[in-house]
Amino acid sequence: VTIANYLEARLNERITQQRRSPQKYRPMTLPPSEPELKQALALPPKIRDGKYRVINAAVPGYTSGNALAQLALKILPYSPDAVIVLGGYTDLITPSDQNLTDIPNTEAFLQNATGHFWTHLTQQLKHLVTKTYLAKAITYWVLQPQPSVSQRSLVMRGDVMPLKKYLPQKSDELERRLTRYRNNLRHMLRLTAGQGIPLLVAVQPEITGRGNNKIKPAEKEILQQLGKVYQKQVQANYPKLVVAGQQLEKGFPKNIKVLNLYTIYQNFPELAFHDAIHLTEAANIHVAKSLYYGLTSLPKLQVASFYSNLDQ
């Protein structure tokens, strides 16, 4: 189950619920008496009726600069009801003099099939296939040598530096990367606001926000491989991505909503991370639920309610 698939199913389920049990949602016409009005306002508002479709236009490895170009050239022509931007990590690890990242094309994908294959292989599947004779051949020809945490996180094979080397080493470089992220979000906001489209910005989860309450042994091993320097730097700098988005939200509250998903798994009871940023299926569903609540809270997706007494 992908985030987009779950989100689409949940939105359409909401429409079915609204049609089946309209009394459980806020009425379009609010009652005039105060006790009834209070009860009506306590109900969740309806979202606009129709069949919802969630298009997954995400590309692994994109920075906010890539997302901005994609938004302008490929997404806005479809006049979406809302736009979700889930990212942040790549902006933190990409040098400030690079606004766009190079994404492997088809030829590069085929030449590096084992690296890309690994990123989509879940630990559960690996556990199942390693018991078969066929798995021994797969392990020899495809899975060996096992990519490092850095390679899996960056969706790359070959010579890859430890992830800590990609983090900003000086405060001025960090500020330039944050400024780039903020400026790209601002441009996205201008584009979407100009067409009356709400923008939902979610800072993606990252393993150092997992916390210690429910962390699994496999995730502890990932953190150990990443090292204490990486952990300390990300924990100090990652929340600043959230602040960058919230600064825009404060100035344009009707056009943009920012979700902080960095620490979303602090009390998550299941395995969440395969590497620094890639998630398990259960963790994807958890993200999708947060995006669902974020979307349905957007005023432009809600059905407006009106007072029956204009004097109120």
Residues 6+ apart with CB under 8 A from 17: 24
- Residue 134 above 70 pLDDT? no
- Residue 60 above 50 pLDDT? yes
Instruction: Based on the fold, state whether residues 83 and 170 are members of the same structural domain.
Output: yes
pLDDT at 153: 62
pLDDT more than 70, % of the chain:
78
Q: Give the 3-state secondary structure of residue 184.
A: helix
Task: Please measure the distance between the N-terminal and C-terminal CA atoms of the chain and give it in whole angstroms.
Answer: 46
pLDDT more than 90, % of the chain:
64
| Phi, psi values for residue 214, rounded to 5° | -125, 10
Looking at the 3D structure of the chain, how many domains does it have? 2
Counting every residue, how long is the chain? 312
Mean pLDDT, to the nearest integer, of 16-28? 96
Instruction: Based on the fold, state whether residues 161 and 69 are members of the same structural domain.
Output: yes
pLDDT at 148: 63
Q: For residue 8, what pLDDT band results from cuts at 50, 70 and 90?
A: very high
Instruction: Based on the fold, state whether residues 83 and 39 are members of the same structural domain.
Output: no
- Residue 135 above 80 pLDDT? no
pLDDT at 159: 55
- Residue 104 above 50 pLDDT? no
Domain that holds residue 43: 1-53+280-312
Q: Give the 3-state secondary structure of residue 29.
A: strand
Q: Give the 3-state secondary structure of residue 175.
A: helix
Half-sphere exposure of residue 117, counting CA atoms within 13 Å on the CB side?
15
Per-residue model confidence as pLDDT tens digits over 152-202 = 666 544 456 788 898 999 999 999 999 999 999 999 999 999 999 999 999
Question: Rounded distance, CA 275 to CA 81, Å?
Answer: 33
Instruction: Based on the fold, state whether residues 140 and 119 are members of the same structural domain.
Output: yes
Instruction: Based on the fold, state whether residues 68 and 192 are members of the same structural domain.
Output: yes
Instruction: Based on the fold, state whether residues 139 and 209 are members of the same structural domain.
Output: yes
Question: Rounded distance, CA 221 to CA 240, Å?
Answer: 26
Instruction: Based on the fold, state whether residues 144 and 15 are members of the same structural domain.
Output: no
- Residue 121 above 80 pLDDT? no
Q: Torsion angle of alpha carbons 184, 162, 279, 290, nearest 10°?
A: -40
Segment among 106-110, 178-182, 219-223, 275-279 with least mean pLDDT: 106-110
pLDDT at 303: 94
Q: Which of 126, 17, 52, 92 is nearest to 298 (CA)?
A: 52
Q: What is the pTM of this model?
A: 0.81
Partner residues linked to 203 by β-bridges: 87, 260
Instruction: Based on the fold, state whether residues 71 and 128 are members of the same structural domain.
Output: yes
Q: Which residue has the higher pLDDT, 286 or 310?
A: 286
Average model confidence (pLDDT) across the chain: 83
Instruction: Based on the fold, state whether residues 2 and 78 are members of the same structural domain.
Output: no
List Cα–Cα distances, 214 to 69, 268, 272, 275, in angstroms.
38, 6, 10, 16
Half-sphere exposure of residue 257, counting CA atoms within 13 Å on the CB side?
21
Instruction: Based on the fold, state whether residues 219 and 243 are members of the same structural domain.
Output: yes
| Phi, psi values for residue 38, rounded to 5° | -60, -40
Instruction: Based on the fold, state whether residues 274 and 290 are members of the same structural domain.
Output: no
Instruction: Based on the fold, state whether residues 166 and 239 are members of the same structural domain.
Output: yes
Question: Rounded distance, CA 115 to CA 22, Å?
Answer: 50
Segment among 14-23, 125-134, 175-184 with least mean pLDDT: 125-134
